[in-house]
């Protein structure tokens, strides 16, 4: 925020003491503040490119170079394109609403033009997203989850189809979204994570099984305690027997809060978990086993305890590794932006548009994870891509390497 400082002097006529008539001397100043809003406005830059020619041979004409363009045959500058992207994918503003906002600011830009700009930027940053995806694949822990997205599809019987956006997070920082036209069949995270052998954290939906059973990968499954307690929470107003296991699960989270407060290293956190979390888990399992034996299999309580019992190994791997989280909530938080956006713009215009949206969401959410301001980031990155940034230096444009001019680089984990 820009600050304007104003010095206001006491009028000359009021600098004389009313008691003795002598001239008063300055003794200090009071400071008061007012906050003003300066509405956004557009500036049209008109460049007159001078031309020179030889008056004798008339063979050569020299023309002054024009400013670089981000998009071919487009007058949009990096700052304008960045604002369009951030407005839609960070602030969840549909393009028809953004059109009206720009109109009030003095520029009438058709919705179709805004849509073309968004599509072109989504394609332009695709190499960055692919490099980001490589970083996710190299991560120690990959989290994954999915959400739906309605997409216009003329080939569908109802002219609209429900696609799926899969979120993947590498080591809690790098975020990548992948769009698939459906949520079933051959498409899904198993294509992206094929062959992985490290940790993958997800809910226990059967759709992820192929990542752990060797069909697509032989990864190590990490469970989610948030999912495991949901059916218990749903019963707490109807069955008092769920109170005790919920209390024990809450104790697991309190131990994590203690580790956070102490800022423990992963090794020290694992030691704390073995000391305090392991006994809690043993109590939980004994209670679940007892309930499972005494309850009819069709009862709601039996179904609620069946989930953690069936996935006990995945749910308890966090005890031995301090880098593993108890739940997959972070991945669900990344998907929240897509959920908020689709409530405003309702659907993507095509499957290609949905894929480009996944690219732009990948960069905006990764910016958030690294504390990078997305508007400044996209403005600079688009300008550098327009200037012909070398493909072998793409890592320098990723959020974990980006920094504000004249500001020391922020600490960022990862390679």
User: What single string gives the DSSP state of each residue in 88-148?
Assistant: HHTS---HHHHHHHHHHTT----HHHHHHHHHHHHHHTHHHHHHHHHHHHT-SEEEEEEEE
How many angstroms separate the Cα of 201 from the Cα of each of 194, 222, 315, 324, 363? Answer: 15, 4, 10, 9, 21
pLDDT digits (tens, 9 = 90+) for 321-357: 999 999 999 999 999 989 999 889 888 989 999 999 9
What are the beta bridge partners of residue 150?
Answer: 162
The side-by-side arrangement of strands in the sheet containing 174-180 is 174-180, 160-170, 141-152, 199-201, 220-222
What value does the mean pLDDT take over residues 379-384? 93
How confident is the model over 396-409, as a mean pLDDT?
72
Question: Running DSSP on this structure, what letter comes out for residue 348?
Answer: B
Helical pair 95-104 and 78-89, crossing angle rounded to 10 deg: 130
What pLDDT score does 409 carry? 41
Crossing angle of helices 351-370 and 374-386, in 10° steps, is: 120
Whole-number pLDDT of residue 54: 83
- pLDDT of residue 406 exceeding 60, the answer is no
The alpha carbon dihedral of 281, 287, 288, 293 has a sign of positive
Q: Is the pLDDT of residue 373 over 90?
A: yes
pLDDT above 70 (res 413): no
Question: Quick check: 415 pLDDT over 80?
Answer: no
User: Is residue 412 scored above 50 in pLDDT?
Assistant: no
What's the pLDDT score for residue 313?
93
Taking all residues of the chain, what is their mean pLDDT, rounded to a whole number?
A: 89
The closest alpha carbon to 328, from 397, 225, 191, belongs to 225
Query: Number of C-alpha atoms within 13 angstroms, CB side, residue 373?
Result: 8
The C-alpha atoms of residue 372 and residue 362 are separated, in whole angstroms, by 13
Question: How large a percentage of the chain has pLDDT more than 70?
Answer: 96
Judge contact between 147 and 191, C-beta under 8 A: no
Residue percentage of the chain with pLDDT more than 90: 55
Closest CA to 76 of 100, 43, 98: 43
* Average confidence (pLDDT) over 303-312: 92
**pLDDT tens digits for 170-228?**
999 999 999 998 766 557 778 888 888 899 998 888 888 888 888 888 889 999 999 99
């Amino acid at each position: 925020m820009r600050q304007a400082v104003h010095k206001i002097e006491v009028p000359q006529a009021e600098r004389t003491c009313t008691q003795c008539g002598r001239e008063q001397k300055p003794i200090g100043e009071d400071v008061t503040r007012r906050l003003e809003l300066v509405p956004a406005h557009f500036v049209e830059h008109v460049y007159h490119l001078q031309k020179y020619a030889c008056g004798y041979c008339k063979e050569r004409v020299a023309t002054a170079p024009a400013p670089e363009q981000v998009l071919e045959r487009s007058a949009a500058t990096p700052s304008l394109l960045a604002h369009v992207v951030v407005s839609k994918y960070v602030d969840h503003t549909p393009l028809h609403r953004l059109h009206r906002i720009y109109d009030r600011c003095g520029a009438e830009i058709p919705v179709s033009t805004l849509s073309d700009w968004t599509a072109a930027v989504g394609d332009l940053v695709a190499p960055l997203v692919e490099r980001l995806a490589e970083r996710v694949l190299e991560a120690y822990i990959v989290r994954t989850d999915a959400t739906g997205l309605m997409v216009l599809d003329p080939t569908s019987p109802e002219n609209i189809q429900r696609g799926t956006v899969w979120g993947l997070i590498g080591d809690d920082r790098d975020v990548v979204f992948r769009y698939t036209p459906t949520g079933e069949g051959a498409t899904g995270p198993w294509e992206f994570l094929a062959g992985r052998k490290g940790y993958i954290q997800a809910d226990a939906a059967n759709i992820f099984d192929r990542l752990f059973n060797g069909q697509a990968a032989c990864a190590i499954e990490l469970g989610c305690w948030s999912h495991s307690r949901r059916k218990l929470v749903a019963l707490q107003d109807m069955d008092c027997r769920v109170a005790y296991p919920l209390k024990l699960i809450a104790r697991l989270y309190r131990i994590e809060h203690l580790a956070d407060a102490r800022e423990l290293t992963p090794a020290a956190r694992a030691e704390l978990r073995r000391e305090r979390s392991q006994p809690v888990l043993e109590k939980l399992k004994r209670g679940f086993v007892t309930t499972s034996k005494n309850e009819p299999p069709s009862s709601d309580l039996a179904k609620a305890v069946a989930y953690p019992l069936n996935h006990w190994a995945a749910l308890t791997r966090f005890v031995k590794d301090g880098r593993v989280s108890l739940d997959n909530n972070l991945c669900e938080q990344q998907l929240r932006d897509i959920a908020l956006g689709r409530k405003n713009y309702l659907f993507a215009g095509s499957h290609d548009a949905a894929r480009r949206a996944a690219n732009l969401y990948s960069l905006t959410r990764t910016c958030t994870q690294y504390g990078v301001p997305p508007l400044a980031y996209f403005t600079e990155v688009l300008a550098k891509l327009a200037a012909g940034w070398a493909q072998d230096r793409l890592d320098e444009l990723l959020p974990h390497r980006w920094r504000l001019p004249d500001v020391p680089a922020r600490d960022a984990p990862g390679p």
